Structure 1
């Protein structure tokens, strides 16, 4: 027992000595600093302006201030814009169109497309928040309510009061989830679409095969808001029109959305980006210019993609709506789309899986196939084209996009990589 006690005592002494040594070493390092690392040695005099680690000269604030004195183009500070510009969107400013006397084609919705100011008319200031602005309500609560002060527009609530778009409630604006064609709520409407298509368990995501949705003329984006809980993500688009910037409400709610319009330019997404396109009373003339707007949807939809259309043309029996329906049905038939299902106020079309139908069309059938030189993935500032973009030979053979279902798609290499010469095997190794 005595020997055991002596061993324990000796071990404690050694441990204490080690701790004391480490502590002393730490104090030495702190005191002498970089003396232990000559490359980072500390100098009591002026340094030579060289970064001790990366090399190169360090420019201090005096140099920057001197630049500002000799170069008037370098701002000393960025001013705040006038409060009247709190909702300015520089390239989508309709006042600019009038001031510069531009003559956009209103029928083609050009006035809702991008028109950026020349350099001399650009604002070099910070856009201020509206008066009374509050920190936005966080998701998921923001889906259902936002601060009225952050988006001081109540006209839309009054105009759409019978459709459950939004309700002003004191300092907040509430969103019951309604829409022009789904007064009972977007959630029930989403389930009804899944039932129409007979998807398993009434789930619109169809086992993860529907993930990306394009909602055209989205209003305040309640459709996209409720799709999130169904494992579907929507890009909601609408123009900055008389409805006082619906997209502003959507973004404040935390819903993926952007200002956009089906006008004369392609939407800024590559071909085959979405599994489903949606239009609920979006008031778009789909028959104009040889169906060029439907052909833009065709470019954006993946093989076998759907177009859900809820509008009077799908169900109303008056002569004008019947005329539009018949013409639209004929156009989509020539585009090789088929009616997947039609019920009540909604019709859902489906795009073909391959090129077979295109090749069987009679010579001269309109709209034509796009030329081989056309790039369906070119989008920025590119005009729409009234032609059908056929599938590649590989996509035609496999009759589909080749994408795996969600969420496996997160970590699986996209088949699109092979289109740009990237091997899927190498991509999988990287992932």
Structure 2
């Protein structure tokens, strides 16, 4: 009996040791593969849950297809599509197909340089398109993450340092070793965009010298933005600026801005409307933007007028606003007269900056003498159509509802995010439809994140 009992004890100990060894071995295998069993199962379930082609929100069936595979497989039907995409030559590492100045010269396009047509979009014909992948510059590094990227980026990612030399006295940017740093200066605000922004708010008598004015200033258009430091320092105030600059002799202004993580786009006030509907911005800004605002009967100012909301501001910091020499005085007087006929009024003028405000209603337009220029736009001129549409030298009047309301009717930010804007009535969208659409996108974004979070960190996405 004693022998049998001892044998059982030895077997139990051996079994325990074997089980313990097996557990350790499995643990090592899990560590080697970078995951434990339970999370792996959860990941699989989350991915497979929507693998049947159904929309994760509305649940309806969406045909699942790999479009690109079909495109390449069906080469006989699509001979223009290559079976594989080669890497472009390094000469094209900064190619912007529809904004390629070399192409403009090669095609000998007859463009009016004085109207900035050469900085507008001119897409290549099919035979001149590059069916290849744009390579990153030599030495490219993973971009520095926001918010650190506001103040510094890798030099290798944007290997252009001539701006640092050209604007060295204006604190645009400095080169320090492998990085390019942005002190926050600009042509007009050498000592920092934050101080300049506070001074604008002070001129407008906004509470606490905060330019957001309690959430009433949310969207800003910064024309001729440089490296977008003005827009960068508006972000902490809850203000989003669309920073706009052409691909001109400074070349990479917008590339710097995007590398920093600041909303911006390549564009120019030339002959075509900017790609935004009417009444999109509460404030427009021009700091030494070198734009001839008087050309073509003030057509560029009239484009700003189209884009500004009722009572919207135009902040103008330029020698014309303060210099006393004969030429600048002539420009100032002509500009002041034009804006007066457009029913804008001077809100504040201090040092080197003047701020105008757009009319709140149609009342001023209706009181103008017959034949006053610029004229009101005709009723068939849709102010919200903006893609590839020529500018018009006319004033966009308000709708009857907007005229009576004498404001945009928008709630302060962030309330306006969930409150239907009044202009929805003008395009036939009900409050219920707005709420339904809002709820749908809240759910969609939530579902997107559920599927992405296993492979993407929260702070790894900035530009979308």
Paired with 1:395 and 1:378, the residues of 2 have a C-alpha distance of 18
- Determine the structure 1 residue equivalent to 2:355: 348
Q: Deviations over 1:323-377 (max 9, x none)?
A: 0000000000000000000000000000010011000000000000000111000
Which structure is richer in relative contact order (CA contacts within 8 A, separation 6 or more)? 2
Kindly state the Cα deviation for residue 209 of structure 1 after the two structures are TM-superposed: 0.4
Gaps of 5+ in 1: 1-53
Kindly state the Cα deviation for residue 423 of structure 1 after the two structures are TM-superposed: 2.1
- Determine the structure 2 residue equivalent to 1:100: 107
Secondary structure in structure 2 of the residue aligned to 1:348: strand
- Determine the structure 1 residue equivalent to 2:26: none
The 3 A distance-change label for structure 1 pair 152 and 369 is same
Question: RMSD between aligned alpha carbons?
Answer: 2.2
Paired with 1:225 and 1:311, the residues of 2 have a C-alpha distance of 21
Query: Which of 411, 419, 427 is matched with 1:420 structurally?
Result: 427
Query: Which of 312, 320, 325 is matched with 2:319 structurally?
Result: 312
Paired with 1:149 and 1:179, the residues of 2 have a C-alpha distance of 23
1:181 equivalent to 2:198? Answer no
- Determine the structure 1 residue equivalent to 2:213: 206
Paired with 2:314 and 2:342, the residues of 1 have a C-alpha distance of 13
The 3 A distance-change label for structure 1 pair 81 and 324 is same
Q: How does the TM-score come out when normalised to structure 1?
A: 0.84
* Contact 1:211–1:275 under 8 Å retained in 2: yes
Regions of 4+ moved over 4 Å: 54-66, 68-72, 428-431
- Determine the structure 1 residue equivalent to 2:300: 293
Q: Deviations over 1:90-126 (max 9, x none)?
A: 0000000100011210100000000100000000000
1:410 equivalent to 2:417? Answer yes
The 3 A distance-change label for structure 1 pair 66 and 95 is closer
Paired with 1:235 and 1:86, the residues of 2 have a C-alpha distance of 25
The 3 A distance-change label for structure 1 pair 370 and 68 is closer
- Determine the structure 2 residue equivalent to 1:143: 150
Query: Which of 390, 400, 409 is matched with 2:397 structurally?
Result: 390
Alignment of 1:354-393 (within 5 A): 354-393=361-400
Paired with 1:202 and 1:289, the residues of 2 have a C-alpha distance of 37
- Determine the structure 1 residue equivalent to 2:87: 80
The 3 A distance-change label for structure 1 pair 313 and 429 is same
1:281 equivalent to 2:295? Answer no
Kindly state the Cα deviation for residue 57 of structure 1 after the two structures are TM-superposed: 11
Q: How does the TM-score come out when normalised to structure 2?
A: 0.79
- Determine the structure 2 residue equivalent to 1:46: none
The 3 A distance-change label for structure 1 pair 272 and 188 is same
* Contact 1:190–1:204 under 8 Å retained in 2: yes
Paired with 2:332 and 2:71, the residues of 1 have a C-alpha distance of 65
Secondary structure in structure 1 of the residue aligned to 2:111: coil
Query: Which of 119, 127, 143 is matched with 2:126 structurally?
Result: 119
- Determine the structure 2 residue equivalent to 1:333: 340
Paired with 2:64 and 2:120, the residues of 1 have a C-alpha distance of 46
Aligned residues between the structures: 379
* Contact 1:148–1:172 under 8 Å retained in 2: yes
Secondary structure in structure 2 of the residue aligned to 1:308: strand
Kindly state the Cα deviation for residue 416 of structure 1 after the two structures are TM-superposed: 1.6
* Contact 1:239–1:245 under 8 Å retained in 2: no
Gaps of 5+ in 2: 1-60, 439-464
Q: Which has the larger radius of gyration?
A: 1
Paired with 1:57 and 1:131, the residues of 2 have a C-alpha distance of 38
Query: Which of 149, 153, 176 is matched with 1:169 structurally?
Result: 176
- Determine the structure 2 residue equivalent to 1:250: 257
Kindly state the Cα deviation for residue 72 of structure 1 after the two structures are TM-superposed: 4.2
Q: Deviations over 1:377-399 (max 9, x none)?
A: 01011000000000001001010
Q: Deviations over 1:188-233 (max 9, x none)?
A: 0010000000001111000100000000000000000000011100
* Contact 2:72–2:81 under 8 Å retained in 1: no
- Determine the structure 1 residue equivalent to 2:98: 91
